[in-house]
Structure 1
């Protein structure tokens, strides 16, 4: 049997030390030995390497010592300039940016309202610059309220679907402030990831019903994005409308529930409309999801979906294949999902930097 190389063993030791410090924030070498299960000499060598690489620093704090209390111990933590992650959400109500450090703390946050999709291209750079000022940004996650091409990160305008954010290339716009990757996904996929952490269910569909329509399919714990990243774009899924079988997006046109000059849904007007007709249309969408994806649960989120939950459940109760339909539970789900991903990627990047 081949024995692991010394380089591999050192790498594993350094990762254990780094992850312990990310969790506990500050530890002495003796405490690190207890936390990691490594020997004190191994921990001391690991700390020495990590300090030398600039990832770990002596905090300047000391344990009580002397007069029978043992040797004075130094506390170590992550170096101040080790790097942060940037999180951006782009939605019809504005652009939000926040910086998260490797401990999981929110370091700064900026929000700027927009009056329409045309504002995003000018607002996004200024929001990013203000939020990351003085920070070494290792990576960025971006949530956008429009379909996203998974190969390029550009936003995609599908026929007859509202363009809530507008034509944008977030990777190109944000690259001046980010030294590493910029990961762009649509808001529903990020929301589904946040809900997955809460639900603990491996197979579910997240149905997002707001100004725009969206869906994320989670299978075996992973969001399925499809060939180009457009899986779950349900606007053209055929369902039952007032006139019969129509694409889902057309139901709102037939009911007069669109915002003027766009296919975006007028939520305030919708909430005063006939919930039975809307629930029937949503029920047809749920039937399609159950037929093709076989989810254990269908989660209903967005600005109007949960308000119609009882009517949607009643409609779904007559479907040939039954599924549990529940309301989304996570507040600000797209932001929560993108933030969690940024934190995981940041911690992984620091571990990689130690090798």
Structure 2
């Protein structure tokens, strides 16, 4: 059996030390040894390498020592290693956050918008203001629009209620940072956040708000499809007031769209017959169960959870039953994008140590 190289062993030790500091913020070398299970000499060498590489710094704080109390210990923490940028593009505006490797939001800027067409001008201003005082290593973007998987561009589809247009977040944000820009739609990010709570490998996240969307998670992975447009459910055929009809058209027939748009008028949904809406939603759930076989269907969005009982009753009539539960994570799209950005930042720091 081939023994691991010294380089590999050093790399593993450095990762253990870095991740311990990410979790605990500051530790002495003795505490690092106890926490990681590494020997004290191994920890000392790792700390020396990480200090030399600029990833770890001596905080200047010391433990009490001397006069029978043992040796004085120095506290170490992460150096100024940079942040991750998290951006959400939504009907209520553009939000940008800087998240450090401890998971703290160290900067946040929000700019409301009155029209989706403003995003192209607002996005670079908000992002530049957020990152002005920070070294940004990477970025995660959540957009309330379909996203092209290959390019990260927003895609304009028929009946999409939040049409930003041909916006390219990668081109806008790339010059502001030193790493990758990952763009995905808001429902996929929301599903990632919900997955951390559910701990289920196969589920569907049905978003019912101003827009209609779905994320399908199979074997623990969000399935985005060839072009990234998996889960765009507006044109799934279901049962409406006039019979078989595309899902989005149900809301037109019920008079629940905002004038001149296909966006759902959330304030008026409560006045609609819940049985009619649940029947239409049940048809969509049946399609999801038939094609994806999820263990659970999570219902989120601004009005979806309020119909949970009616949706459950409708789904109970299906020959293939599935658990239907309400989403539990607040601000799920932001939470999902932030968690991804944090883990990506930590991985980038571990890679830098190598």
CA contact (8 A) 1:95 1:124 kept: yes
2:327 aligned residue: 328
- What's the RMSD between the two structures over aligned residues? 0.9
CA contact (8 A) 2:146 2:154 kept: yes
Q: Secondary structure at the match of 2:183?
A: strand
Q: Secondary structure at the match of 2:147?
A: coil
Structure 2 residue 139 is the aligned partner of structure 1 residue 140? yes
Q: Distance in 1 between matches of 2:159 and 2:18?
A: 49
- After TM superposition, list the pairs within 5 Å mapping 1:151-166 onto structure 2: 151-166=150-165
2:343 aligned residue: 344
- After TM superposition, list the pairs within 5 Å mapping 1:219-234 onto structure 2: 219-234=218-233
Q: Structure 2 stretches of 5 or more lacking a match? A: none
Shift of 1:114: 0.3
CA contact (8 A) 1:112 1:123 kept: yes
CA contact (8 A) 1:299 1:328 kept: yes
Provide the aligned length of Structure 1 versus Structure 2: 354
Q: Secondary structure at the match of 1:341?
A: helix
Shift of 1:253: 1.3
Q: Secondary structure at the match of 1:87?
A: strand
CA contact (8 A) 2:91 2:162 kept: no
Q: Distance in 1 between matches of 2:143 and 2:325?
A: 24
Q: Distance in 2 between matches of 1:204 and 1:225?
A: 14
CA contact (8 A) 2:145 2:160 kept: no
Q: Distance in 1 between matches of 2:337 and 2:295?
A: 24
Shift of 1:161: 2.4
Structure 2 residue 267 is the aligned partner of structure 1 residue 268? yes
TM-score (norm 2): 0.98
Q: Distance in 1 between matches of 2:160 and 2:60?
A: 57
1:298 aligned residue: 297
CA contact (8 A) 2:55 2:353 kept: yes
Q: Structure 1 stretches of 5 or more lacking a match? A: none
1:199 aligned residue: 198
The more displaced of 338-347 and 262-271 is 262-271
CA contact (8 A) 1:143 1:184 kept: yes
Shift of 1:250: 1.0
- After TM superposition, list the pairs within 5 Å mapping 1:1-355 onto structure 2: 1-79=1-79, 81-355=80-354
CA contact (8 A) 1:26 1:75 kept: yes
Shift of 1:167: 2.8
Q: Distance in 1 between matches of 2:193 and 2:340?
A: 9
Q: Secondary structure at the match of 2:328?
A: coil
Q: Distance in 1 between matches of 2:66 and 2:217?
A: 57
Shift of 1:164: 4.1
Q: Secondary structure at the match of 1:154?
A: coil
Q: Distance in 2 between matches of 1:256 and 1:36?
A: 61
CA contact (8 A) 1:88 1:140 kept: yes
